[in-house]
A and B are shown apart, each in its own frame.
Chain A
Amino acid sequence: MTVLFFQISSPVYFLHLCHGRDLRRHQLSVDPPRQVPHPILFPPLPFTPSSQQDCRPATFRPAGHKSRISSTLARESSPAPVQMEAEPTRLLRPDSFGRFGKFGGKYVPETLMHALSELESAFHALAVDEEFQKELSGILRDYVGRESPLYFAERLSEHYRRPNGEGSLVYLKREDLNHTGSHKINNAIGQALLAKRLGKKRIIAETGAGQHGVATATVCARFGLECIVYMGAQDMERQALNVFRMRLLGAEVRPVHSGTATLKDATSEAIRDWVTNVESTHYILGSVAGPHPYPMMVREFHAVIGKETRRQALEKWGGKPDILVACVGGGSNAMGLFHEFVGDEDVRLIGVEAAGFGLDSGKHAATLSKGEVGVLHGAMSYLLQDQDGQIIEPHSISAGLDYPGVGPEHSFLKDIGRAEYHSVTDEEALEAFKRVSRLEGIIPALETSHALAYLEKLCPDLPNGTKVVVNCSGRGDKDVHTAIKHLKV
């Protein structure tokens, strides 16, 4: 089992990115659920903030105690196994330890534990804060441009109609119409507002292709917060224009030269910065991955997608969607759409990952299809790792799906069978990109094109009149040059 150590200044703790497989002994017991007041925007949460309950892991050591992470994670006491309830879908999402079944959790050094609990308490407090909710919905409406429409894709539905005239009805949830062109802003706004409430003046983020970096820099400009974005030096060269955009927005873009100088190295550097400056700094994580409370928080900020969809579906056809389809990289847009409907057993949830050059080629990013359980970036989830526990470098034509891990909640939904996960290749995604552009005049992001590509396999066998809602998570203006190169239009 190989571990990566990152030396940081005092206190001397090591950030451990553990890629091990055999972590069953790290499972913790599940506490019984506790009720909190029903908030306006967020659903009832199954646990009380940490100020009222000690939800630290059993082997927590007091602050100041020096320790090597590898022993922290090699627990001295063997915890009790997870007690599963009879009906899996009633399981807490997440429980008091931030776990979704066995996935999730808080695999971080002690320095960050306090920051994470503080974040969690603040989040729960704001969930019931009317003023905060009002401010957030005002910004989502006037700045982001919500609510995004639920658009009936007539020509696309016609394309899937069978010769006998029967077929499904395809609807697109238009997250591409949001300010900055994708769903990412929902979470960036929520977290920036949260950081302001916490009195943090400094925001950090990491970015690969630049999309999340630009979204973060955008909200920081809007709120007047100092913004530092970590980006791999190699990525900076390839994405010079996005670097310029972030600088125009007033952010500082710091190059990372260590390792392969790409996203995972930028992530480590960002975490290092956060550990050092945790009092003044908030780390805006872009997806439903990372240590608790991030997966839950990011999901809650994106849950507006699913909530709107429910209301719009009722308005349009007086019922619920039958199937929800979304692309899965880290999993934020999918969780945002699915979350509202997880309790509705009659709604099928389908996540589509990137199969790159094909699942057997070894060059893909289909974590849930081909990955194994391990810990990455603070959470237990499926991840693409080899026999030695080394991260396999993922590949996808779309930068946003190019992530070797996946949100822990997705791992959980897969394991309990509540959601299905499939994958499509680069080529299929490009075809879908072209198809939807030609049929609907909507150019989807290459990430979204993966979800749209899956319709080719899904729609032919659906009963007549099935209502399929696809999350159009982003617009494809940014992907035009890539697509043209491959499609030779």
Chain B
Amino acid sequence: MTCNVQNYVLLTNKIYTKRTQASNPERSRSLPSASSFRVVCAVEEQTSTSTSIALNRISMPLDMEISEEKKKKKSLGEVGGGKFGRYGGKYVPETLITCLAKLEAEFNLVLHDPDFQAELTMALRDYVGRETPLYFAKRLTNHYKDEYGEGPEIYIKREDLNHGGSHKMNNAIAQAMIAKRMGRTSVMASTGAGQHGVATAAACAKLSLKCTVFMGTTDMEKQSSNVLLMNLLGAEVKPVKGNFKDASSQAIREWVGSLETSYYLTGTVVGPHPCPSMVREFQSVIGKETRTQAMEKWGGKPDVLVACVGSGSNALGFFHEFVEDQDVRLIGVEAAGFGLDSGKHAATLARGEVGVYHGAMSYLLQDSEGQIQRPHSVGVGLEYPGVSPELSFLKDNGRAEFYTATDKEAIEAYERLCRLEGIFPALEAAHAFAYLEKLCPTLPNGTRVVVNCSGRGYKDAARVFDILGHPS
């Protein structure tokens, strides 16, 4: 096996060098010549690399043996190499392959390590504040009752009550613990809206890890309060010209330069395997709790689950537990921005096409030349041109349904939830609430709908104030 990999790797490297010289003479100047490669344990250690090329798919993913355990995962679409049907995979340069393999090994270890699980459970309970309640929204339910007094029952999964104000902390604390376990001293992350950055900074502060967060300059302007929070928590916020996609490319670039000492903390269910699976596992606590709480409250399962979809972490964390329960409807709501036809939206599953982005194959918003389209949404956390490969798979096989909500509908939903329930949802989560307007009239009496309130929107009041231009 080692011999084969070695040959394979060397072969690939030659192709790599040739292609870059042909396509981009300027970039090839920065690449080292073949003689500076050292082959260690069948994987090259390159002294420098240009990640933007690395993230453009050049090498094919490695075929791995499918073990018995992984064959069981076929029903969820997951097979060896982190593939969900044709989606997912590991479209990364060779330098990262070992790293990802190590990460996967560590992840498998912690999944079965009772000490780690006990420590994580305690952190989730005492630090993050789990379990989050499953709250019956009486006034919202009444709002959707028809003239006969019939309608669905609306429950809200309160991820807004987590420490940090969103579901992002579930993943951040678990991965920070893994980083510590692996002996890393520093953590890198990239963030769009800032929620993941804040969660990472908090988790690193708690575990005394050095934290560096990369954020696009346009995002930093819009989310200045999150930047302040990260600074207060002791993280260094490095500005990157552009927005989230540029920030994450830069973050990976810098990470590759210090693979032994630093850990790249992914915030969401995208990226090369094992990142999507890892993040999903850590977020799946949401769905697991919902199952237990639904059983306690009404002795059954939810009928419909609704969640907003940016890259998909809160949706997957919510849905994953129920994917095999065919009688539970799974609904994801993406951001339609100014409207699907305006060109200014972030509705990847509605309008995207299949391609490879950030190391995985999935739907993504690209134009006819394969250039990434810039997404827009009033919910900044939904502004991601890609989406989780697993969600792409669930869409294709019809297990989950995906719809969209415009900025206007999201803001209306925000105001509605404040007025009726005294809860400020994050503008991202407001998209899920917005879809209830279309969904509820179609549901039979007594249907139990659970909406994932993935974050709190106390801060978003400023944005809504600016948009509305007047106090409501």
Check A441 against B203 for contact (C-beta < 8 Å): yes
Q: Which residue of B lies closest to A147 (CB)?
A: B129
Tell me which residues across on chain B come within 8 A of A250, comparing CB atoms. Answer: 418-419
Q: How many A-B residue pairs have CB under 8 A?
A: 120
Check B471 against A244 for contact (C-beta < 8 Å): yes
Chain B, interface residues (CB within 8 Å), range? 35 or more
Alpha-carbon separation in the docked complex, A220 to B471 (Å): 19
Query: Which of B139, B162, B203 meets A224, CB within 8 Å?
Result: B139
Q: Which of A80-88, A174-182, A290-298, A407-415 contacts B (4 or more CB under 8 A)?
A: A174-182
Query: Which of A151, A437, A438, A480 meets B225, CB within 8 Å?
Result: A480
Q: Which of B130-138, B335-343, B397-405 contacts A (4 or more CB under 8 A)?
A: B130-138
Check A249 against B419 for contact (C-beta < 8 Å): yes
Alpha-carbon separation in the docked complex, A221 to B417 (Å): 9
User: Any chain B CB within 8 A of the CB of A145?
Assistant: yes
A-facing mask of B176-214, CB < 8 A → 1, else 0?
A: 000000000000000000000000011111101000000
Alpha-carbon separation in the docked complex, A336 to B165 (Å): 25
Alpha-carbon separation in the docked complex, A313 to B233 (Å): 28
Check A480 against B418 for contact (C-beta < 8 Å): no
Alpha-carbon separation in the docked complex, A84 to B421 (Å): 48
Shortest CB-to-CB span from B160 to chain A, Å, is 8
Shortest CB-to-CB span from A39 to chain B, Å, is 25
Check A221 against B228 for contact (C-beta < 8 Å): no
Check B418 against A489 for contact (C-beta < 8 Å): no
Check A483 against B126 for contact (C-beta < 8 Å): no
Tell me which residues across on chain B come within 8 A of A150, comparing CB atoms. Answer: 126
User: Any chain B CB within 8 A of the CB of A219?
Assistant: yes
Alpha-carbon separation in the docked complex, A250 to B418 (Å): 8
Shortest CB-to-CB span from A2 to chain B, Å, is 38
Tell me which residues across on chain B come within 8 A of A220, comparing CB atoms. Answer: 422
Check B202 against A441 for contact (C-beta < 8 Å): yes
Q: With A145-B161, A441-B204 in contact, is A219–B229 under 8 Å at CB?
A: no
Tell me which residues across on chain A come within 8 A of B418, comparing CB atoms. Answer: 221, 245, 248-250
Alpha-carbon separation in the docked complex, A250 to B163 (Å): 27
Shortest CB-to-CB span from B205 to chain A, Å, is 4
User: Any chain A CB within 8 A of the CB of B44?
Assistant: no
Q: With A177-B163, A477-B458 in contact, is A248–B158 under 8 Å at CB?
A: no
Check A441 against B422 for contact (C-beta < 8 Å): no
User: Any chain A CB within 8 A of the CB of B459?
Assistant: yes
User: Any chain B CB within 8 A of the CB of A218?
Assistant: yes
User: Any chain B CB within 8 A of the CB of A8?
Assistant: no
Tell me which residues across on chain B come within 8 A of A477, comparing CB atoms. Answer: 165, 225, 229, 458-459
> Which residues of A, 80-122, contact B by the 8 Å Cβ criterion?
none
Query: Which of B134, B201, B205, B415 meets A248, CB within 8 Å?
Result: B415
How many chain A residues touch B (Cβ–Cβ < 8 Å)? 45
Tell me which residues across on chain B come within 8 A of A145, comparing CB atoms. Answer: 129, 132-133, 158, 161
Tell me which residues across on chain B come within 8 A of A304, comparing CB atoms. Answer: none
Query: Which of B139, B234, B461 meets A241, CB within 8 Å?
Result: B461
Query: Which of A143, A434, A489 meets B135, CB within 8 Å?
Result: A143
Task: Name, among B126, B136, B161, the residue most crowded by chain A CB atoms within 10 Å (CB to CB).
Answer: B126
Shortest CB-to-CB span from A88 to chain B, Å, is 36
User: Any chain A CB within 8 A of the CB of B465?
Assistant: yes
Q: Which residue of A lies closest to B122 (CB)?
A: A152
Q: With A177-B129, A219-B422 in contact, is A440–B232 under 8 Å at CB?
A: no
User: Any chain A CB within 8 A of the CB of B74?
Assistant: no
Q: With A149-B125, A149-B129, A177-B163 in contact, is A441–B206 under 8 Å at CB?
A: yes
Check B126 against A152 for contact (C-beta < 8 Å): yes
Shortest CB-to-CB span from B452 to chain A, Å, is 15
User: Any chain B CB within 8 A of the CB of A443?
Assistant: yes
Shortest CB-to-CB span from A185 to chain B, Å, is 9
Shortest CB-to-CB span from B291 to chain A, Å, is 17
> Which residues of B, 410-425, contact A by the 8 Å Cβ criterion?
415, 418-424
Check B423 against A179 for contact (C-beta < 8 Å): yes
> Which residues of A, 251-306, contact B by the 8 Å Cβ criterion?
none
Check A179 against B233 for contact (C-beta < 8 Å): no
User: Any chain A CB within 8 A of the CB of B231?
Assistant: yes
Check B419 against A437 for contact (C-beta < 8 Å): no
Query: Which of B129, B228, B424 meets A480, CB within 8 Å?
Result: B228
Alpha-carbon separation in the docked complex, A248 to B462 (Å): 12
Q: Which residue of A lies closest to B155 (CB)?
A: A142
Task: Name, among A145, A152, A248, A483, the residue most crowded by chain B CB atoms within 10 Å (CB to CB).
Answer: A248
Check A480 against B229 for contact (C-beta < 8 Å): yes
Alpha-carbon separation in the docked complex, A434 to B233 (Å): 8
Check B129 against A443 for contact (C-beta < 8 Å): no
Q: Which residue of A lies closest to B133 (CB)?
A: A142
Query: Which of B126, B206, B421, B461 meets A221, CB within 8 Å?
Result: B421
User: Any chain A CB within 8 A of the CB of B472?
Assistant: yes
Check B423 against A248 for contact (C-beta < 8 Å): no
User: Any chain B CB within 8 A of the CB of A217?
Assistant: yes
Extra contacts besides A142-B134, A142-B136, A217-B422 (4): CB < 8 Å: A150-B126, A177-B163, A245-B458, A433-B232
Q: Can you name 18 A-B residue pairings with CB atoms under 8 Å? A: A142-B134, A143-B135, A145-B158, A177-B161, A177-B163, A220-B422, A221-B418, A241-B462, A244-B472, A247-B472, A248-B415, A249-B419, A249-B422, A437-B232, A438-B205, A442-B163, A477-B229, A484-B232
Q: Which 8 A-B pairs have the closest CB atoms?
A: A441-B202, A441-B205, A221-B422, A218-B422, A177-B129, A145-B161, A441-B206, A222-B422
Q: What is the interface of chain A, defined by CB distance below 8 A to chain B?
A: 141-143, 145, 148-152, 155, 174, 177-179, 181, 217-222, 224, 241, 243-245, 247-250, 433-434, 437-443, 477, 480-481, 483-484, 489
